[in-house]
Amino acid sequence: MLEVRYKSIGVIHTPFKRPIGTPIQPEAARTIEGTVEVFPEYTEGLKDIEGFSHIILLYHFHLAGRYKLVVTPFMDDNSHGVFATRAPSRPNPIGLSVVSLLRVEKNLLYIKAVDIVDGTPLLDIKPFVPRFDVWDRVTGIGWLKANVNRLPDTRDDERFV
């Protein structure tokens, strides 16, 4: 099996010091602000990012425990395959969040709608482009259809630490 290694390009700073109580999706964290500190050697890569209102953050779930292939996710009482969930404990613990970009100051990105624990290692940043990233004909959201309305009140309870 091919081993893949990534190097952190920065760190995400948020008000959430532990997973418990952290919103589980950006939609449930619309008012929460934080910063993304891009390491100095990658600052040049931020050129022209300030023109985007939203960015995609890819990060390492550094506090996630050992993965299981079947999990009980935050918004359901039934178990599902990990790849049918957004649970942080997964074979490759990679997280993805679309956040609002408020401003850029040198190597600091000021963001909003943060659902990430403080100190999380940043793997990559991509611009969010609605024409690329929003599908207008999504026809199914699986088991979440019955539970998606639970999002505003659901918080991390540390079940995946």
Q: What is the DSSP letter of 133?
A: H
Answer whether 0.75 is exceeded by the pTM: yes
Q: Is pLDDT of 1 > 90?
A: no
The residues near 55 (Cβ < 8 Å, ≥ 6 apart) are 49, 98, 99, 101, 109, 111, 125, 126, 127, 128
Q: Report the mean per-residue pLDDT for the chain.
A: 95
| Structure confidence at residue 21 (pLDDT) | 94
Determine the topology of domain 10-129+138-151 in CATH.
Answer: Elongation Factor Tu (Ef-tu); domain 3 (2.40.30)
pLDDT computed for residue 89 by the predictor: 95
Average pLDDT over residues 138-161: 91
Q: Residue 63 — φ and ψ, nearest 5°?
A: -105, 0
Q: Compute the distance between CA of residue 79 and CA of residue 70 in angstroms, rounded to an integer.
A: 6
CA atoms of 11 and 58, how far apart (whole Å): 11
Q: Quick one: pLDDT band at residue 137, thresholds 50, 70, 90?
A: confident
pLDDT at 104 over 90: yes
**Model confidence over 42-98: pLDDT tens digits?**
999 999 999 999 999 999 999 999 999 999 999 999 999 999 999 999 999 999 999
- pLDDT value at residue 136: 87
pLDDT value of residue 108:
98
Query: How many other C-beta atoms can be found within 10 angstroms of the C-beta atom of residue 44?
Result: 9
